[in-house]
Amino acid sequence: MSDSNIYYVGVSRSGSHWLRIVLEEYMQGKSPVSNFIACKDDINVLMSHLNDFKGTHDMALDFVADNVIYLYRNPIDCIFSNLKYDQTTIDNKESIENYLNIWIKHIQKWVFDEKFTKRKVILSYENLKKDFVKEFSKLLVYLNLEVDEKRIISAKETYTKNKIREIVHDKKVINNESDYELQRDRFVDLFGKYIYDKLPLTHKHICIFPEKILI
């Protein structure tokens, strides 16, 4: 597969920076979708590379490509992360509804409906957290790369949240607020079941949800 025609696609706040940076580390700076590491100390060079990033969040749902890496995330955490990134209060019902509708339509298009891609790999953020080696290996197979478990673990351990923050200069990308997890727990308590109940059954089946909303 030619590196020049591979695109990353995913709803905003689905974990793309993590996936892309670990991929670049694994490929020793030769990732087909981004270039963060080689120019991390030069913000001007870095920004030029970010402009060349081969991917899209496809929030308008009008993007088409032949070869796609698609990453999705549990809608509850995805919506919460978008609200925090937008610096919107976590109980903003209008914003919650907006992101929920986008997420549902996004999954419908890219997981269930699309017929235009020639090759596509679908990855889950939750599966990366649960078993990174197994899920990341699907990406490597898609890229026709050797699957080396030790290199995968090394690349993942090299790029922690704090390390990624050194490379990605938008401080909102990785939120290190001391009470971030408490805020997310509160969001799940307030809106987790509401969001879950609004999802089509097909969409529920492909996600891992917080246990507390399934009780």
pLDDT at 167 over 70: no
Residue 105 vs residue 48, higher pLDDT: 105
Mean predicted confidence (pLDDT) in 38-53: 45
Domain boundaries, the chain: 3-213
Distance CA 133, CA 30 (A): 20
Identify the architecture of domain 3-213 in CATH: 3-Layer(aba) Sandwich (3.40)
> Does 39 or 201 have the greater pLDDT score?
201
**What is the share, in percent, of the chain residues with pLDDT greater than 70?**
80
Q: What is the pLDDT of residue 172?
A: 54
* Residue 134 reports pLDDT greater than 80: yes
pLDDT tens by residue, 1-35: 334 588 999 999 998 888 988 998 898 877 777 66
